[in-house]
């Protein structure tokens, strides 16, 4: 199926359910009809800890590496994803906690920091145990082996030695420490070795400690020639190569003890936007020092002698709780190189070809012409992202298109969309790019794109001081109609693309998101007003369809939740379904709790951190929280409210915003109601119903914040959608 029709004949999980209200099971229906479950002013349950909620999400990701029904190399990939996630967790969240412990009156204590560290230690220990005891042995059984020095035969050792001598040793500069050779500046997340040396140096001195910094340019995983591996696929890690030849870096000395180590640093860019005249230049300067922020975590191998890791803790001014002794490489994220090098397609997910929405966008027909007939919904990655690219490409090459405006949050270092915007400016079209320079860890790429766009004459702005522009929208203005002397013979018509996800073609194949193409005059006028406000910072007329943060979105959501609560108290139908990535805003959480206590039936599909404890007797019994972790990263934001029986008593929004305070008050975000009945039902049947019925990839949260898998069998929402779009 091409995905362009209505939802009535689609998802097998919906069983032809015509209305969202029927998603509830009978017990939910009974709960929804119950009058006020808790008296006004009742004590609300204590909210869950945000950092522990983030670590719980990573436990769910790690659980994917245990699943026998997940291909083996993909299981390894989940292990590496957890490492990458934890890096950011320490760089941002733990760094914030460390800083807060130093601020009087913050309410954050060293005990809070210790609790987070304890939970992180437990998770990391589980991660390495799973890798060593399950994933690596399973790979070995499939003929994919990672060989340490003791396991390598003579021919393999000769190959490794040649590699070390020709590719590695010329780039290593060991530093023996003394007063004239102080401890070197160690970059964030870089690989390093520390060694304790015996004997004397060339000048007869006993400088005991040496540091070897390993350049990032060196690959972390190398595949041995097949001729040396007797039918297996053999791999060696860079850490093993250096370890095997570490003594050769110190001729005349003895390496008595050593360890790999890696330090994770605070990576938040601190820029006072009110006190800079050029944000781009200030960020460019900040990027040069980000690699050397305050140390937060130290990783060493489990065999590291205490005197060496204690010496490192002292150098980085870290407490003992910041030390992580691991049973393997100190950076598992770099093992993703093995996944790409291995020749084993059967151990990866089968390729999935996203569908082109041929029913709504026939190939060869102008997208503008199609949009004049009807709006188009795109559901990625089940449907191709290429229509979005084609929408912009057609605008660039159409001589009647006069202007293109686009927000840029994350798009990657290589982007066909950015290349097309540059081409549009070269062709003389008016191009406005709202580039978010503060998109975390994408700052440098976005600065580079901003400079390239400006170089060809595009107008580049960076949004509003103090706010990140996280909204995803693209607006095209086109001159239409036959030229003639009569007034109004030609008109300007606008076309818009709005999305829950980024303008990033690669991640559009890995994340679930929904986007909408439209020529609706009201919606496009609203989008144009948002662009005007981002560029000029002037007041604009209140939007009739687009709801923006920080101006209105939070208040609108609270109003809808209150409407549902009021309906529940009056004995009318009261239903809320929210699919988001995180739920941490306390006002929204408490409003949901009060609506549930009033009798509303509430389902929350929250991929990541959720601070609302569901199922607490007498308090949140009518609220259910589930998380879906599967092949694709769940990223779409869908919100449904119902406060009665009629069509006027319900609304469904797509949005770029998660329910976090930062999204509501420190970012420019968008939400828009889907008014077309068929499109709304399709979103319900594809974006909500399957996930509420998912049994294979879903996790159910209890009131303590712990999760259990819904089932080891049953239906997967993502797999069902893949099957439908592949048919």
User: What integer pLDDT is reported at residue 202 of this predicted model?
Assistant: 64
Which residues are identified as catalytic? 470
Q: What is the mean pLDDT of residues 677-692?
A: 97
pLDDT at 28 over 50: no
Token pair for 21:
């209200």
In angstroms, rounded to a whole number, what is the distance separating the alpha carbons of residues 78 and 69? 13
Q: What is the pTM of this model?
A: 0.91
pLDDT in tens, 301-357: 999 999 999 999 999 999 999 999 999 999 999 999 999 999 999 999 999 999 999
CA angle at 49 for the pair 43 and 55, rounded to the nearest 5°? 150
Residues whose CB is less than 8 angstroms from the CB of residue 726 and which lie 6 or more positions away in sequence, other chains included: 352, 353, 355
Residues whose CB is less than 8 angstroms from the CB of residue 512 and which lie 6 or more positions away in sequence, other chains included: 379, 380, 381, 382, 632, 633, 634, 635, 636, 718
pLDDT at 32 over 50: no
Q: Is 5 helix (H, G, I), strand (E, B) or coil?
A: coil
In angstroms, rounded to a whole number, what is the distance separating the alpha carbons of residues 206 and 202? 10
Bridge partners of residue 479, in order along the sequence = 492
pLDDT at 44 over 90: no
Instruction: Please give the torsion angle defined by the CA atoms of residues 553, 557, 558 and 563, in that order, rounded to the nearest 10 degrees.
Output: 140
In sign, the C-alpha dihedral spanning 651, 655, 659, 663 is: negative
User: What integer pLDDT is reported at residue 272 of this predicted model?
Assistant: 56
Counting runs of H as helices and runs of E as strands, what totals does the chain give? 22, 27
More confident residue, 357 or 283: 357
Residues whose CB is less than 8 angstroms from the CB of residue 151 and which lie 6 or more positions away in sequence, other chains included: 145
In angstroms, rounded to a whole number, what is the distance separating the alpha carbons of residues 585 and 659? 6
By the 8 A CB rule, do 88 and 54 touch?
no
User: What integer pLDDT is reported at residue 181 of this predicted model?
Assistant: 83
Token pair for 410:
């994350």
pLDDT in tens, 416-453: 999 999 999 999 999 999 988 876 777 888 888 889 99
By the 8 A CB rule, do 225 and 166 touch?
no
- Cite the DSSP H helix spans in 471-510: none
Token pair for 441:
């860890």
Which domains are present in the chain?
Answer: 20-52+548-726 (3.30.870.10), 72-347 (3.30.1840.10), 367-545 (3.30.870.10)
In angstroms, rounded to a whole number, what is the distance separating the alpha carbons of residues 128 and 147? 17
User: What integer pLDDT is reported at residue 443 of this predicted model?
Assistant: 80
pLDDT at 27 over 60: no
Strands (DSSP E) along 283-389, which ranges?
295-301, 323-326, 376-380
In sign, the C-alpha dihedral spanning 119, 120, 123, 129 is: negative
In angstroms, rounded to a whole number, what is the distance separating the alpha carbons of residues 523 and 529? 10
- The whole-angstrom distance between residue 534's C-alpha and the CA centroid of its chain comes to 25
pLDDT in tens, 446-490: 888 889 999 999 999 987 778 889 999 999 999 998 776 665 668
By the 8 A CB rule, do 358 and 4 touch?
yes
By the 8 A CB rule, do 578 and 605 touch?
yes
pLDDT in tens, 154-194: 999 999 999 999 999 999 999 998 867 899 999 999 999 99
In angstroms, rounded to a whole number, what is the distance separating the alpha carbons of residues 233 and 372? 55
User: What integer pLDDT is reported at residue 349 of this predicted model?
Assistant: 97
């Amino acid at each position: 199926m091409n995905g362009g029709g209505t939802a009535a004949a689609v998802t097998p999980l919906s069983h032809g359910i015509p209305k969202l209200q029927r998603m509830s099971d009978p017990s939910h229906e009974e709960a929804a009809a119950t009058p006020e479950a808790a008296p006004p002013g009742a004590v609300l349950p204590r909210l869950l800890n945000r950092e522990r909620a983030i670590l719980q999400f990573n436990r769910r990701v790690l659980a994917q590496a245990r699943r026998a029904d997940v291909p083996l190399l993909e299981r390894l990939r989940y292990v590496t994803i957890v490492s990458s996630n934890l890096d950011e967790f320490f760089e941002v969240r733990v760094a914030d906690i460390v800083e807060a412990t130093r601020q009087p009156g913050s309410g954050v204590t060293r005990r809070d920091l210790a609790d987070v560290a304890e939970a992180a230690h437990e998770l990391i220990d589980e991660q390495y145990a799973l890798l060593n005891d399950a994933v690596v042995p399973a790979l070995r059984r499939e003929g994919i082996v990672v060989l340490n020095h003791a396991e390598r035969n003579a021919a393999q050792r000769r190959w490794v030695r040649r590699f070390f001598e020709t590719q590695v040793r010329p780039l290593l500069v060991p530093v023996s420490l003394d007063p004239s050779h102080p401890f070197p500046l160690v970059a964030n997340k870089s690989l390093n070795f520390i060694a304790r040396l015996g004997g004397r140096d060339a000048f007869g001195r006993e400088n005991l400690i040496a540091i070897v910094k390993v350049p990032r340019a060196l690959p972390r995983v190398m595949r041995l020639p097949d001729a040396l591996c007797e039918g297996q696929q053999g791999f060696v890690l860079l850490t093993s190569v250096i370890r095997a030849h570490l003594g050769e870096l110190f001729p005349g000395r003895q390496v008595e003890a050593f360890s790999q180590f890696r330090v994770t640093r605070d990576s938040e860019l601190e820029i006072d936007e009110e006190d800079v005249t050029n944000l781009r230049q200030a960020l460019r300067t900040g990027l040069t020092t980000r690699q050397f922020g305050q140390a937060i975590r130290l990783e060493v191998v489990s065999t590291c002698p205490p005197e060496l890791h204690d010496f490192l803790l002292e150098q980085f001014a870290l407490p003992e709780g910041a030390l992580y002794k691991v049973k393997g490489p100190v950076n598992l994220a770099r093992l993703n190189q093995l996944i790409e090098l291995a020749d084993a397609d059967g151990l990866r997910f089968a390729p999935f070809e996203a569908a082109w929405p041929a029913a709504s966008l026939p190939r060869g027909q102008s997208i503008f012409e199609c949009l004049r007939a009807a709006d188009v919904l795109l559901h990625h990655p089940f449907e191709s992202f290429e229509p979005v690219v084609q929408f912009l490409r057609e605008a660039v090459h159409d001589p009647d298109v006069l202007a293109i405006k686009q927000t840029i949050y994350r798009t990657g270092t290589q982007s066909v969309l950015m290349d097309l915007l540059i081409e549009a400016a070269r062709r003389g079209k008016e191009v406005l790019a709202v580039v978010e320079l503060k998109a975390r860890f994408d700052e440098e790429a976005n600065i580079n794109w901003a400079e390239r766009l400006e170089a060809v004459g595009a107008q580049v702005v960076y949004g509003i001081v103090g706010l990140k522009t996280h909204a995803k929208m693209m607006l095209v203005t086109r001159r239409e109609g036959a030229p003639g002397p009569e007034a109004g013979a030609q008109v300007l018509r606008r076309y818009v693309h709005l999305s829950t996800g980024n303008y990033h073609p690669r991640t559009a194949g890995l994340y679930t998101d929904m986007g909408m193409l439209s020529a609706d005059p009201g919606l496009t006028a609203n989008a144009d007003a948002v662009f005007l406000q981002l560029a000029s910072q002037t007041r604009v007329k209140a939007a009739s369809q687009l709801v923006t943060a920080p101006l209105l979105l939070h208040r609108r959501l609270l109003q809808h939740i209150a409407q549902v609560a009021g309906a529940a108290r009056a004995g009318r139908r009261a239903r809320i379904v929210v699919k988001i990535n995180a739920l941490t805003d306390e006002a929204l959480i408490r409003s949901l709790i009060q609506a549930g206590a009033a009798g509303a039936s509430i389902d929350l599909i929250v991929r990541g951190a959720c601070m609302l404890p569901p199922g607490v007797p007498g308090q949140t019994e009518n609220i259910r929280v589930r998380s879906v972790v599967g092949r694709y990263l769940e990223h779409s934001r869908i919100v449904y409210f119902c406060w009665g029986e009629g069509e006027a008593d319900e609304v469904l929004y797509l949005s770029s915003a998660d329910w976090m305070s930062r999204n509501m008050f420190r970012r420019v975000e968008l939400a828009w109601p889907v008014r077309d009945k068929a499109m709304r039902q399709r979103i319900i049947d594809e974006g909500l119903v399957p996930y509420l019925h998912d049994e294979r990839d879903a996790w159910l949260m209890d009131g303590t914040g712990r999760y259990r898998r819904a089932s080891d069998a049953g239906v997967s929402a993502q797999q069902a959608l893949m099957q439908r779009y592949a048919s």
